[in-house]
Amino acid sequence: MSRTLQLNRQFREIQRNIDTLPVVTRRELSTLVAKEFALAAESPHLYLAVPEQPGSDTAGKGSEIGFSRVKSDNRHVKLRGIALWLTVTFFETKDSASGATQTLHRQLMRTLRVLKESMPAGKTSERWMSGEHTDRAVA
């Protein structure tokens, strides 16, 4: 339960940061989030660790790393932190049985949808969060 409270608190700050971004920067963030999801598809063991997994050295650290970067004065570091936090937290909350965590997941989904919709038509793939790579040439 304390983990959900912590993630909710962090989400509110992340959302405030996203809300203040100009459209061009939101588009940049959307691209970074798409890339993080693609990386998560390649290396799920780096993104799917949750705090309840016994013996996991990386459990819960991805969201903490991302959140610490959100506080940076460097715009690029901040955007990368937001993208990392959104991706890790998406997978952490995805299959939770907790009602509060499911609510957080739905809020994350709305935020991700808004980011995706901020991209001009044709700039983003329909499979934005499916884990398929859009920036690689198909041989």
Among left, alpha and beta (phi > 0; psi -120 to 50; other), residue 125 is beta
pTM: 0.80
Q: Contact, 17 vs 108, CB < 8 A?
A: no
Q: Is the pLDDT of residue 50 over 80?
A: no
DSSP type of residue 134? S
Backbone angles phi, psi at 9, to 5 degrees: -65, -45
Helix axes 2-19, 61-70, angle to 10 degrees: 30
**What's the confidence (pLDDT) of residue 60?**
63
**What's the confidence (pLDDT) of residue 54?**
43
Q: Is the pLDDT of residue 61 over 70?
A: yes
**What's the confidence (pLDDT) of residue 136?**
39
- Rounded distance, CA 91 to CA 126, Å? 19
Q: Contact, 93 vs 101, CB < 8 A?
A: yes
Residue 42 banded pLDDT, cuts 50, 70, 90: confident
- Rounded distance, CA 40 to CA 42, Å? 5
How many degrees, rounded to 5, is the angle at CA 130 between CA 27 and CA 92?
90
Residue 134 banded pLDDT, cuts 50, 70, 90: very low
Residue 125 banded pLDDT, cuts 50, 70, 90: very low
Torsion of CA 69, 72, 78, 83, to 10 degrees: 10
DSSP type of residue 120? P
pLDDT one-digit tens code per residue, 83-117: 999 999 998 898 888 899 999 999 999 999 999 99
Q: Contact, 8 vs 101, CB < 8 A?
A: no
Average pLDDT of 47-66?
Answer: 63
pLDDT one-digit tens code per residue, 13-39: 999 999 999 999 999 999 999 999 999
